A and B are shown apart, each in its own frame.
Chain A
Amino acid sequence: MKYLLIDTTTSNVTVAIIENNKILFNYQNTIISDMSSKILPIIEAGFNSVNFNLRDIDKIFVVNGPGSFTGIRVGVTIAKTIASALNKNIITLSSLEYMATTFTDKKYLVPIIDARRGNVFAGIYDNNLKLIEKDSLISLNELMKKIDSNYELISYDNINNSIKPKVDILKIILKHENDKSINPHKVNPNYLKLTEAEERLKLKENI
Protein backbone atom coordinates (compact mmCIF):
# COMPACT_ATOMS: atom_id res chain seq x y z
CA MET A 1 0.00 0.00 0.00
CA LYS A 2 1.23 3.46 -0.92
CA TYR A 3 0.44 6.45 1.23
CA LEU A 4 1.00 10.21 1.21
CA LEU A 5 0.98 12.07 4.51
CA ILE A 6 0.74 15.86 4.77
CA ASP A 7 0.98 17.93 7.93
CA THR A 8 1.06 21.73 7.63
CA THR A 9 -0.86 22.52 10.80
CA THR A 10 2.16 24.13 12.47
CA SER A 11 5.41 25.48 11.06
CA ASN A 12 6.83 21.98 11.62
CA VAL A 13 5.84 20.50 8.32
CA THR A 14 5.74 16.83 7.36
CA VAL A 15 5.41 15.49 3.85
CA ALA A 16 5.98 11.75 3.69
CA ILE A 17 5.56 9.01 1.13
CA ILE A 18 5.17 5.54 2.55
CA GLU A 19 5.06 2.15 0.84
CA ASN A 20 4.30 -1.07 2.68
CA ASN A 21 5.21 0.40 6.05
CA LYS A 22 8.46 1.79 4.79
CA ILE A 23 9.06 5.52 4.68
CA LEU A 24 10.48 6.24 1.24
CA PHE A 25 10.41 10.03 1.45
CA ASN A 26 10.38 11.97 4.65
CA TYR A 27 10.42 15.74 4.71
CA GLN A 28 10.30 17.10 8.24
CA ASN A 29 11.33 20.67 8.64
CA THR A 30 10.43 23.99 10.15
CA ILE A 31 9.07 26.40 7.57
CA ILE A 32 8.72 29.88 8.97
CA SER A 33 7.68 31.98 5.98
CA ASP A 34 5.69 31.45 2.79
CA MET A 35 4.86 27.91 3.84
CA SER A 36 1.93 27.72 1.44
CA SER A 37 4.12 28.15 -1.62
CA LYS A 38 6.58 25.49 -0.51
CA ILE A 39 4.38 22.43 0.00
CA LEU A 40 3.63 21.47 -3.61
CA PRO A 41 7.32 21.71 -4.61
CA ILE A 42 8.13 19.39 -1.67
CA ILE A 43 5.45 16.91 -2.75
CA GLU A 44 6.81 17.06 -6.29
CA ALA A 45 10.36 16.46 -5.06
CA GLY A 46 9.03 13.54 -3.02
CA PHE A 47 7.47 11.78 -5.97
CA ASN A 48 10.54 12.53 -8.09
CA SER A 49 12.55 10.58 -5.55
CA VAL A 50 10.42 7.41 -5.55
CA ASN A 51 9.62 5.08 -8.44
CA PHE A 52 5.88 5.73 -8.58
CA ASN A 53 3.75 8.84 -8.83
CA LEU A 54 0.89 10.55 -7.08
CA ARG A 55 -1.67 8.64 -9.14
CA ASP A 56 -0.40 5.35 -7.67
CA ILE A 57 -1.16 6.42 -4.09
CA ASP A 58 -3.78 4.31 -2.28
CA LYS A 59 -4.50 6.69 0.56
CA ILE A 60 -3.86 10.24 1.66
CA PHE A 61 -3.44 11.10 5.32
CA VAL A 62 -3.90 14.74 6.10
CA VAL A 63 -3.43 16.33 9.49
CA ASN A 64 -6.40 18.68 9.76
CA GLY A 65 -5.84 20.50 13.04
CA PRO A 66 -5.83 22.00 15.49
CA GLY A 67 -3.05 24.49 14.81
CA SER A 68 -2.45 27.50 12.60
CA PHE A 69 -5.70 28.25 10.76
CA THR A 70 -3.89 29.22 7.57
CA GLY A 71 -1.50 26.29 7.79
CA ILE A 72 -4.34 23.82 8.28
CA ARG A 73 -6.14 25.20 5.24
CA VAL A 74 -3.13 24.82 2.97
CA GLY A 75 -2.66 21.12 3.77
CA VAL A 76 -6.35 20.32 3.76
CA THR A 77 -6.95 22.14 0.46
CA ILE A 78 -4.07 20.33 -1.24
CA ALA A 79 -5.10 16.94 0.18
CA LYS A 80 -8.80 17.23 -0.64
CA THR A 81 -8.05 18.56 -4.12
CA ILE A 82 -5.87 15.51 -4.81
CA ALA A 83 -8.38 13.11 -3.27
CA SER A 84 -11.38 14.50 -5.12
CA ALA A 85 -9.58 14.84 -8.46
CA LEU A 86 -8.00 11.39 -8.42
CA ASN A 87 -10.73 9.68 -6.44
CA LYS A 88 -8.40 8.67 -3.62
CA ASN A 89 -9.16 7.49 -0.13
CA ILE A 90 -8.49 10.18 2.41
CA ILE A 91 -8.16 10.05 6.18
CA THR A 92 -7.79 12.95 8.58
CA LEU A 93 -5.47 12.89 11.57
CA SER A 94 -5.26 15.05 14.67
CA SER A 95 -2.18 17.24 14.91
CA LEU A 96 -2.08 16.56 18.64
CA GLU A 97 -2.30 12.81 18.25
CA TYR A 98 0.45 13.03 15.66
CA MET A 99 2.65 14.81 18.22
CA ALA A 100 1.73 12.15 20.76
CA THR A 101 3.57 9.53 18.70
CA THR A 102 6.72 10.89 20.32
CA PHE A 103 8.50 8.27 22.42
CA THR A 104 8.53 8.75 26.19
CA ASP A 105 8.72 6.44 29.18
CA LYS A 106 5.96 8.31 30.94
CA LYS A 107 2.49 6.87 31.06
CA TYR A 108 0.64 9.76 29.47
CA LEU A 109 1.47 12.23 26.76
CA VAL A 110 0.04 15.73 26.60
CA PRO A 111 0.59 17.31 23.19
CA ILE A 112 0.17 21.08 23.30
CA ILE A 113 -0.06 23.82 20.69
CA ASP A 114 -0.02 27.44 21.78
CA ALA A 115 -3.40 29.07 21.04
CA ARG A 116 -2.43 32.48 22.46
CA ARG A 117 -3.91 34.54 25.30
CA GLY A 118 -3.03 31.85 27.83
CA ASN A 119 -4.89 29.18 25.92
CA VAL A 120 -3.62 26.00 24.32
CA PHE A 121 -4.89 23.25 22.10
CA ALA A 122 -4.23 20.05 23.99
CA GLY A 123 -5.25 16.44 24.33
CA ILE A 124 -4.15 13.56 26.50
CA TYR A 125 -3.02 10.21 25.07
CA ASP A 126 -1.35 7.15 26.54
CA ASN A 127 1.83 5.87 24.93
CA ASN A 128 -0.15 3.54 22.68
CA LEU A 129 -2.00 6.55 21.25
CA LYS A 130 -5.12 5.63 23.14
CA LEU A 131 -7.17 8.77 23.63
CA ILE A 132 -7.52 9.63 27.30
CA GLU A 133 -8.88 13.12 27.00
CA LYS A 134 -9.99 14.48 23.67
CA ASP A 135 -8.38 17.43 21.89
CA SER A 136 -9.74 20.74 23.08
CA LEU A 137 -9.05 24.42 23.47
CA ILE A 138 -8.27 24.97 27.12
CA SER A 139 -6.52 27.52 29.31
CA LEU A 140 -2.99 26.43 30.13
CA ASN A 141 -3.64 26.90 33.84
CA GLU A 142 -6.68 24.65 33.66
CA LEU A 143 -4.71 22.00 31.82
CA MET A 144 -1.80 22.09 34.28
CA LYS A 145 -4.15 21.19 37.14
CA LYS A 146 -4.54 17.73 35.60
CA ILE A 147 -0.83 17.17 35.13
CA ASP A 148 1.46 15.25 37.49
CA SER A 149 4.73 13.35 37.04
CA ASN A 150 2.99 10.65 35.01
CA TYR A 151 2.42 13.11 32.21
CA GLU A 152 4.87 14.24 29.54
CA LEU A 153 4.15 17.61 27.99
CA ILE A 154 5.01 17.70 24.30
CA SER A 155 5.14 20.87 22.32
CA TYR A 156 7.01 22.74 19.60
CA ASP A 157 6.31 25.89 21.59
CA ASN A 158 8.37 25.26 24.78
CA ILE A 159 5.52 25.28 27.25
CA ASN A 160 6.20 24.48 30.95
CA ASN A 161 9.26 22.25 30.39
CA SER A 162 7.65 20.41 27.52
CA ILE A 163 9.81 18.17 25.36
CA LYS A 164 10.02 18.64 21.60
CA PRO A 165 7.93 16.25 19.52
CA LYS A 166 9.74 13.53 17.62
CA VAL A 167 6.91 12.25 15.55
CA ASP A 168 6.65 8.60 14.53
CA ILE A 169 4.96 8.52 11.13
CA LEU A 170 4.52 4.76 10.99
CA LYS A 171 3.00 4.66 14.47
CA ILE A 172 0.15 6.99 13.55
CA ILE A 173 -0.38 5.39 10.14
CA LEU A 174 -0.49 1.92 11.61
CA LYS A 175 -3.20 3.05 13.98
CA HIS A 176 -5.30 4.76 11.33
CA GLU A 177 -4.70 2.98 8.05
CA ASN A 178 -7.93 1.05 8.35
CA ASP A 179 -10.02 4.05 9.35
CA LYS A 180 -12.99 4.65 7.14
CA SER A 181 -12.15 6.95 4.25
CA ILE A 182 -14.03 10.26 4.13
CA ASN A 183 -15.72 11.86 1.14
CA PRO A 184 -13.01 14.34 0.01
CA HIS A 185 -15.52 17.20 -0.24
CA LYS A 186 -16.29 16.66 3.45
CA VAL A 187 -12.66 16.73 4.57
CA ASN A 188 -12.39 19.97 6.48
CA PRO A 189 -10.17 21.66 9.02
CA ASN A 190 -10.68 20.92 12.68
CA TYR A 191 -9.96 24.37 14.09
CA LEU A 192 -11.39 23.66 17.56
CA LYS A 193 -12.16 27.35 17.71
CA LEU A 194 -14.83 29.60 16.29
CA THR A 195 -13.78 32.79 14.54
CA GLU A 196 -13.79 35.89 16.72
CA ALA A 197 -16.74 37.27 14.79
CA GLU A 198 -18.75 34.10 15.50
CA GLU A 199 -17.77 34.19 19.17
CA ARG A 200 -18.90 37.79 19.51
CA LEU A 201 -22.18 36.99 17.79
CA LYS A 202 -22.75 34.00 20.06
CA LEU A 203 -22.04 36.13 23.10
CA LYS A 204 -24.53 38.73 21.89
CA GLU A 205 -27.20 36.12 21.25
CA ASN A 206 -26.75 34.63 24.72
CA ILE A 207 -27.31 37.94 26.49
Chain B
Amino acid sequence: MDNVYILGIESSCDETSVSIVKNGCEEIATVVLSQMNTHSTYGGVVPEIASRMHVENITIVIEECLKKANMKMEQIDAIAVTYGPGLIGSLLVGVSAATTLSYIYNKPLVPVHHIAGHIYANNLVSKMEFPLIALVVSGGHTDLIYMEDDYKFKKIGGTLDDAVGECYDKVARIIDVPYPGGPLVDKLSYEGKDTYQLPLPLDDNTYNFSFSGIKSAVINLVHNEIQRGNEIRKADIACSFQKRVVDILTKKTMKALKEYNVKNLIIAGGVSANSGIRNKFSELCKNGGIKLTIPHIKYCTDNAAMIACAGYFAYKKGLRAGLDLKAQANTSLF
Protein backbone atom coordinates (compact mmCIF):
# COMPACT_ATOMS: atom_id res chain seq x y z
CA MET B 1 0.00 0.00 0.00
CA ASP B 2 1.22 3.48 -0.82
CA ASN B 3 2.12 5.79 1.98
CA VAL B 4 -0.41 8.46 2.83
CA TYR B 5 0.77 11.90 3.92
CA ILE B 6 -1.70 14.17 5.65
CA LEU B 7 -1.06 17.84 6.30
CA GLY B 8 -2.95 18.92 9.42
CA ILE B 9 -3.85 22.46 10.45
CA GLU B 10 -4.97 23.40 13.96
CA SER B 11 -5.97 26.89 15.12
CA SER B 12 -8.92 26.33 17.44
CA CYS B 13 -7.58 28.27 20.40
CA ASP B 14 -4.21 29.91 21.01
CA GLU B 15 -1.82 27.66 19.12
CA THR B 16 -1.15 27.98 15.41
CA SER B 17 0.06 24.59 14.33
CA VAL B 18 0.75 22.67 11.13
CA SER B 19 1.99 19.11 10.88
CA ILE B 20 2.65 16.37 8.36
CA VAL B 21 1.96 12.81 9.48
CA LYS B 22 2.56 9.64 7.49
CA ASN B 23 -0.02 6.84 7.58
CA GLY B 24 -1.69 8.22 10.68
CA CYS B 25 1.12 7.19 12.98
CA GLU B 26 4.49 8.60 11.95
CA GLU B 27 5.16 12.26 12.56
CA ILE B 28 7.23 13.78 9.77
CA ALA B 29 7.28 17.38 10.98
CA THR B 30 5.25 19.59 13.29
CA VAL B 31 5.41 23.31 13.93
CA VAL B 32 3.52 24.79 16.88
CA LEU B 33 3.47 28.51 17.47
CA SER B 34 2.07 29.09 20.93
CA GLN B 35 0.60 32.44 21.93
CA MET B 36 0.69 31.59 25.61
CA ASN B 37 3.13 34.34 26.56
CA THR B 38 0.92 36.99 24.99
CA HIS B 39 -2.26 35.74 26.65
CA SER B 40 -0.62 35.35 30.04
CA THR B 41 -0.43 39.17 30.16
CA TYR B 42 -4.24 39.15 30.22
CA GLY B 43 -4.70 36.24 32.61
CA GLY B 44 -6.33 34.05 29.98
CA VAL B 45 -6.87 33.62 26.27
CA VAL B 46 -8.30 36.76 24.64
CA PRO B 47 -10.22 35.49 21.60
CA GLU B 48 -9.73 38.58 19.41
CA ILE B 49 -5.99 38.67 20.09
CA ALA B 50 -5.79 34.93 19.36
CA SER B 51 -7.52 35.42 16.00
CA ARG B 52 -5.20 38.28 15.12
CA MET B 53 -2.10 36.29 15.90
CA HIS B 54 -3.32 33.32 13.87
CA VAL B 55 -3.62 35.50 10.75
CA GLU B 56 -0.14 36.90 11.29
CA ASN B 57 1.41 33.46 11.63
CA ILE B 58 -0.56 30.96 9.60
CA THR B 59 1.39 31.12 6.32
CA ILE B 60 4.71 31.22 8.14
CA VAL B 61 3.82 28.09 10.09
CA ILE B 62 2.64 26.26 6.94
CA GLU B 63 5.84 27.13 5.09
CA GLU B 64 8.05 26.20 8.06
CA CYS B 65 6.39 22.82 8.42
CA LEU B 66 6.88 21.95 4.74
CA LYS B 67 10.48 23.08 4.97
CA LYS B 68 11.08 21.04 8.11
CA ALA B 69 9.55 17.98 6.44
CA ASN B 70 11.48 18.73 3.26
CA MET B 71 8.29 18.19 1.33
CA LYS B 72 6.19 20.03 -1.21
CA MET B 73 2.43 20.41 -1.13
CA GLU B 74 2.26 18.27 -4.26
CA GLN B 75 3.44 15.28 -2.20
CA ILE B 76 0.61 15.66 0.31
CA ASP B 77 -2.39 13.36 -0.11
CA ALA B 78 -4.96 15.35 1.83
CA ILE B 79 -5.36 18.39 4.05
CA ALA B 80 -6.97 17.90 7.45
CA VAL B 81 -8.21 20.84 9.48
CA THR B 82 -9.87 21.41 12.84
CA TYR B 83 -13.31 22.82 11.97
CA GLY B 84 -14.49 22.89 15.60
CA PRO B 85 -15.16 23.13 18.43
CA GLY B 86 -13.16 26.14 19.53
CA LEU B 87 -12.95 29.92 19.30
CA ILE B 88 -14.77 30.82 16.11
CA GLY B 89 -12.41 33.62 15.03
CA SER B 90 -9.41 31.38 15.56
CA LEU B 91 -10.94 28.39 13.80
CA LEU B 92 -11.80 30.55 10.80
CA VAL B 93 -8.15 31.30 10.07
CA GLY B 94 -7.13 27.64 9.96
CA VAL B 95 -10.22 26.67 7.98
CA SER B 96 -9.70 29.51 5.46
CA ALA B 97 -6.05 28.55 4.95
CA ALA B 98 -6.83 24.83 4.65
CA THR B 99 -9.67 25.41 2.21
CA THR B 100 -7.46 27.68 0.12
CA LEU B 101 -4.66 25.07 0.00
CA SER B 102 -7.18 22.39 -0.91
CA TYR B 103 -8.35 24.55 -3.81
CA ILE B 104 -4.89 25.56 -5.01
CA TYR B 105 -3.46 22.04 -5.02
CA ASN B 106 -6.70 20.19 -5.72
CA LYS B 107 -6.27 18.04 -2.62
CA PRO B 108 -9.07 16.43 -0.61
CA LEU B 109 -10.11 18.48 2.41
CA VAL B 110 -10.81 16.43 5.55
CA PRO B 111 -12.73 18.03 8.43
CA VAL B 112 -11.48 16.94 11.85
CA HIS B 113 -13.27 17.39 15.17
CA HIS B 114 -10.85 18.77 17.73
CA ILE B 115 -11.60 15.98 20.23
CA ALA B 116 -11.07 13.26 17.63
CA GLY B 117 -7.67 14.90 17.21
CA HIS B 118 -6.88 14.67 20.92
CA ILE B 119 -7.89 11.00 20.95
CA TYR B 120 -5.77 10.17 17.92
CA ALA B 121 -2.71 11.87 19.41
CA ASN B 122 -2.35 8.48 21.06
CA ASN B 123 -1.79 6.79 17.73
CA LEU B 124 1.54 8.63 17.60
CA VAL B 125 2.55 6.78 20.78
CA SER B 126 1.37 3.30 19.91
CA LYS B 127 -1.10 1.82 17.48
CA MET B 128 -4.56 2.15 19.01
CA GLU B 129 -6.15 -1.22 19.74
CA PHE B 130 -9.89 -1.70 19.78
CA PRO B 131 -12.21 -1.80 21.54
CA LEU B 132 -10.99 0.96 23.78
CA ILE B 133 -12.17 3.51 26.28
CA ALA B 134 -10.97 7.07 25.84
CA LEU B 135 -11.01 9.57 28.67
CA VAL B 136 -10.89 13.06 27.20
CA VAL B 137 -9.95 15.72 29.72
CA SER B 138 -9.36 19.31 28.69
CA GLY B 139 -10.36 22.89 29.35
CA GLY B 140 -13.59 22.35 27.45
CA HIS B 141 -14.26 18.63 27.77
CA THR B 142 -14.55 15.75 30.18
CA ASP B 143 -15.85 12.77 28.24
CA LEU B 144 -15.73 9.02 28.53
CA ILE B 145 -15.87 7.54 25.06
CA TYR B 146 -16.19 3.95 23.92
CA MET B 147 -14.58 3.14 20.57
CA GLU B 148 -15.37 -0.16 18.96
CA ASP B 149 -13.27 0.64 15.92
CA ASP B 150 -11.44 3.46 14.14
CA TYR B 151 -13.40 6.68 14.00
CA LYS B 152 -16.42 5.22 15.79
CA PHE B 153 -17.10 7.33 18.84
CA LYS B 154 -19.76 6.47 21.40
CA LYS B 155 -20.12 8.71 24.40
CA ILE B 156 -20.82 6.80 27.59
CA GLY B 157 -20.51 9.70 29.98
CA GLY B 158 -19.44 13.30 30.27
CA THR B 159 -19.42 16.34 32.49
CA LEU B 160 -22.77 17.79 33.43
CA ASP B 161 -21.29 21.23 34.08
CA ASP B 162 -17.67 22.44 34.16
CA ALA B 163 -14.95 20.61 32.27
CA VAL B 164 -12.16 19.35 34.47
CA GLY B 165 -9.60 21.79 33.01
CA GLU B 166 -11.99 24.67 33.48
CA CYS B 167 -12.42 23.65 37.12
CA TYR B 168 -8.63 23.55 37.58
CA ASP B 169 -8.33 27.07 36.19
CA LYS B 170 -11.10 28.35 38.44
CA VAL B 171 -9.58 26.77 41.53
CA ALA B 172 -6.25 28.31 40.52
CA ARG B 173 -7.90 31.72 40.44
CA ILE B 174 -9.55 31.20 43.83
CA ILE B 175 -6.25 30.32 45.51
CA ASP B 176 -4.44 33.03 43.55
CA VAL B 177 -2.26 30.88 41.32
CA PRO B 178 -1.31 32.72 38.11
CA TYR B 179 -2.12 31.73 34.50
CA PRO B 180 -1.84 29.00 33.28
CA GLY B 181 -3.55 27.86 36.46
CA GLY B 182 -4.12 24.16 35.81
CA PRO B 183 -0.51 23.03 35.40
CA LEU B 184 0.58 25.19 38.34
CA VAL B 185 -2.08 23.69 40.65
CA ASP B 186 -0.82 20.25 39.62
CA LYS B 187 2.74 21.26 40.51
CA LEU B 188 1.71 22.90 43.76
CA SER B 189 -0.23 19.81 44.88
CA TYR B 190 3.04 17.95 45.44
CA GLU B 191 4.13 20.51 48.02
CA GLY B 192 1.01 19.95 50.09
CA LYS B 193 -0.93 17.33 51.99
CA ASP B 194 -4.52 16.13 51.62
CA THR B 195 -5.74 17.91 54.74
CA TYR B 196 -8.90 19.66 53.53
CA GLN B 197 -12.31 17.99 53.54
CA LEU B 198 -13.56 18.32 49.98
CA PRO B 199 -16.40 16.24 48.53
CA LEU B 200 -15.82 13.52 45.94
CA PRO B 201 -17.57 15.01 42.86
CA LEU B 202 -20.69 13.14 41.63
CA ASP B 203 -19.87 9.77 43.10
CA ASP B 204 -22.77 7.81 41.58
CA ASN B 205 -23.42 4.86 39.29
CA THR B 206 -23.36 6.80 36.02
CA TYR B 207 -20.33 7.67 33.90
CA ASN B 208 -21.07 11.34 34.21
CA PHE B 209 -18.97 13.92 35.96
CA SER B 210 -19.74 17.14 37.77
CA PHE B 211 -17.09 19.55 38.93
CA SER B 212 -19.13 22.59 39.91
CA GLY B 213 -19.69 21.15 43.40
CA ILE B 214 -16.03 20.78 44.25
CA LYS B 215 -15.35 24.20 42.76
CA SER B 216 -17.97 25.74 45.06
CA ALA B 217 -16.55 23.76 47.96
CA VAL B 218 -13.13 25.31 47.34
CA ILE B 219 -14.67 28.79 47.08
CA ASN B 220 -16.54 28.31 50.36
CA LEU B 221 -13.52 26.83 52.06
CA VAL B 222 -11.27 29.75 51.13
CA HIS B 223 -13.98 32.23 52.04
CA ASN B 224 -14.56 30.64 55.48
CA GLU B 225 -10.87 30.40 56.25
CA ILE B 226 -10.46 34.09 55.45
CA GLN B 227 -13.46 34.94 57.66
CA ARG B 228 -11.95 32.99 60.50
CA GLY B 229 -8.61 34.65 59.95
CA ASN B 230 -6.95 31.33 59.21
CA GLU B 231 -4.03 30.96 56.88
CA ILE B 232 -4.89 29.58 53.42
CA ARG B 233 -2.59 26.65 52.82
CA LYS B 234 -2.60 26.81 49.04
CA ALA B 235 -0.50 23.69 48.53
CA ASP B 236 -2.80 21.67 50.78
CA ILE B 237 -5.87 22.91 48.91
CA ALA B 238 -4.20 22.03 45.60
CA CYS B 239 -3.35 18.58 46.94
CA SER B 240 -6.81 17.85 48.38
CA PHE B 241 -8.51 19.14 45.24
CA GLN B 242 -6.29 17.21 42.86
CA LYS B 243 -6.70 14.02 44.90
CA ARG B 244 -10.50 14.22 44.73
CA VAL B 245 -10.50 14.94 40.99
CA VAL B 246 -8.08 12.11 40.25
CA ASP B 247 -10.08 9.76 42.47
CA ILE B 248 -13.35 10.31 40.66
CA LEU B 249 -11.80 10.24 37.18
CA THR B 250 -10.04 6.96 37.89
CA LYS B 251 -12.99 5.42 39.72
CA LYS B 252 -15.46 5.94 36.87
CA THR B 253 -12.99 5.16 34.12
CA MET B 254 -11.85 1.90 35.70
CA LYS B 255 -15.48 0.95 36.24
CA ALA B 256 -16.22 1.57 32.55
CA LEU B 257 -13.29 -0.60 31.48
CA LYS B 258 -14.62 -3.41 33.63
CA GLU B 259 -18.24 -3.15 32.56
CA TYR B 260 -17.44 -2.83 28.86
CA ASN B 261 -14.85 -5.56 29.20
CA VAL B 262 -12.23 -3.40 27.52
CA LYS B 263 -8.49 -3.83 27.94
CA ASN B 264 -7.31 -0.61 26.29
CA LEU B 265 -7.46 2.83 27.82
CA ILE B 266 -6.31 6.03 26.26
CA ILE B 267 -6.24 9.41 27.89
CA ALA B 268 -6.42 12.52 25.78
CA GLY B 269 -6.77 16.28 25.95
CA GLY B 270 -4.81 19.07 27.58
CA VAL B 271 -5.41 17.87 31.13
CA SER B 272 -3.83 14.49 30.31
CA ALA B 273 -0.58 16.36 30.91
CA ASN B 274 -1.58 16.45 34.59
CA SER B 275 0.90 14.35 36.50
CA GLY B 276 -1.58 13.33 39.20
CA ILE B 277 -3.85 11.84 36.53
CA ARG B 278 -0.97 10.21 34.65
CA ASN B 279 0.53 8.62 37.75
CA LYS B 280 -2.67 7.25 39.23
CA PHE B 281 -3.88 5.78 35.95
CA SER B 282 -0.47 4.23 35.28
CA GLU B 283 -0.58 2.51 38.65
CA LEU B 284 -4.17 1.27 38.34
CA CYS B 285 -3.77 0.04 34.76
CA LYS B 286 -0.56 -1.77 35.59
CA ASN B 287 -2.30 -3.62 38.40
CA GLY B 288 -5.43 -4.27 36.33
CA GLY B 289 -3.76 -5.60 33.18
CA ILE B 290 -5.00 -2.67 31.11
CA LYS B 291 -2.96 -1.27 28.23
CA LEU B 292 -2.75 2.46 28.94
CA THR B 293 -1.70 5.01 26.36
CA ILE B 294 -1.18 8.66 27.17
CA PRO B 295 0.20 11.07 24.59
CA HIS B 296 3.66 12.52 25.04
CA ILE B 297 3.34 15.81 26.95
CA LYS B 298 3.95 17.84 23.79
CA TYR B 299 0.91 16.21 22.14
CA CYS B 300 -1.39 16.82 25.11
CA THR B 301 -1.78 20.48 24.36
CA ASP B 302 -3.23 21.60 21.03
CA ASN B 303 -1.14 20.61 18.05
CA ALA B 304 -1.65 19.74 14.41
CA ALA B 305 0.06 16.33 14.55
CA MET B 306 -3.01 14.94 16.28
CA ILE B 307 -5.24 16.56 13.65
CA ALA B 308 -3.19 15.04 10.82
CA CYS B 309 -3.33 11.71 12.67
CA ALA B 310 -7.11 11.74 13.09
CA GLY B 311 -7.30 13.18 9.57
CA TYR B 312 -5.70 10.05 8.19
CA PHE B 313 -8.42 7.82 9.65
CA ALA B 314 -11.16 10.25 8.62
CA TYR B 315 -9.65 10.31 5.13
CA LYS B 316 -9.59 6.50 4.99
CA LYS B 317 -13.23 6.52 6.04
CA GLY B 318 -14.08 8.86 3.19
CA LEU B 319 -14.88 11.97 5.22
CA ARG B 320 -14.56 15.02 3.00
CA ALA B 321 -15.42 18.70 3.13
CA GLY B 322 -16.00 21.08 0.24
CA LEU B 323 -14.60 24.55 -0.26
CA ASP B 324 -17.60 25.75 1.72
CA LEU B 325 -16.41 24.11 4.95
CA LYS B 326 -17.76 26.03 7.93
CA ALA B 327 -15.89 26.57 11.16
CA GLN B 328 -18.11 25.70 14.11
CA ALA B 329 -17.59 26.99 17.62
CA ASN B 330 -19.81 24.27 19.07
CA THR B 331 -20.05 20.92 17.44
CA SER B 332 -20.50 17.45 18.84
CA LEU B 333 -18.35 14.46 18.02
CA PHE B 334 -21.22 12.09 18.66
Contact = CB atoms under 8 A, between A and B. Distances in A.
Contact of A73 (B60, B93, B105): B93
Interface in B60-77: 60, 62-63, 73
Contacts of A77: 55, 58, 92-93, 96-97, 100
B59 A184 contact: yes
A73 B87 CA distance: 14
B104 A69 contact: no
Contact of A196 (B48, B54, B58, B101): B48
Interface string A37-79: 1111101100000000011000000000000011001101110
A133 B326 CA distance: 38
A34 interface: yes
A43 B101 CA distance: 13
A85 B104 contact: yes
A37 B326 contact: yes
**Interface of chain B: mostly helix, strand, loop or mixed:** helix
Tell which of A55, A74, A195 has the most Cβ of chain B within 10 Å. Answer: A195
Contacts of A40: 96, 99-100, 103, 323-324
A174 interface: no
A176 B251 CA distance: 66
Interface in A155-207: 184-185, 188-189, 191, 195-198, 201
Given A69-B51, A195-B52, A84 B62 contact: yes
Nearest to A184: B59
Contact of A74 (B59, B92, B324): B92
Contact of B324 (A41, A86, A185, A201): A41
Interface residues of A, number: 34
Interface string B103-125: 11100000000000000000000
A37 B58 CA distance: 18
B104 A86 contact: yes
B325 A37 contact: yes
B200 to A, nearest CB: 37
Contacts of B59: 80-81, 84-85, 184-185
A195 B101 CA distance: 29
Interface string B43-55: 0001011011011
B112 to A, nearest CB: 17
A78 B55 CA distance: 10
A82 interface: yes
A82 B96 CA distance: 11
A188 B327 CA distance: 21
B24 interface: no
A198 B46 CA distance: 9
Nearest to A83: B59
Contact of A41 (B56, B101, B323): B323
A21 interface: no
A19 to B, nearest CB: 20
Contacts of A69: 48, 51-52, 89
Interface of B: 41-42, 46, 48-49, 51-52, 54-56, 58-60, 62-63, 73, 88-89, 92-93, 95-97, 99-101, 103-105, 322-327
Interface of A: 34, 36-41, 43-44, 54-55, 69-70, 73-74, 76-78, 80-82, 84-86, 184-185, 188-189, 191, 195-198, 201
Given A40-B324, A74-B96, A78-B100, 12 more contacts: A36-B96, A36-B327, A40-B99, A41-B324, A69-B48, A69-B51, A70-B92, A78-B99, A80-B58, A84-B63, A85-B59, A197-B46
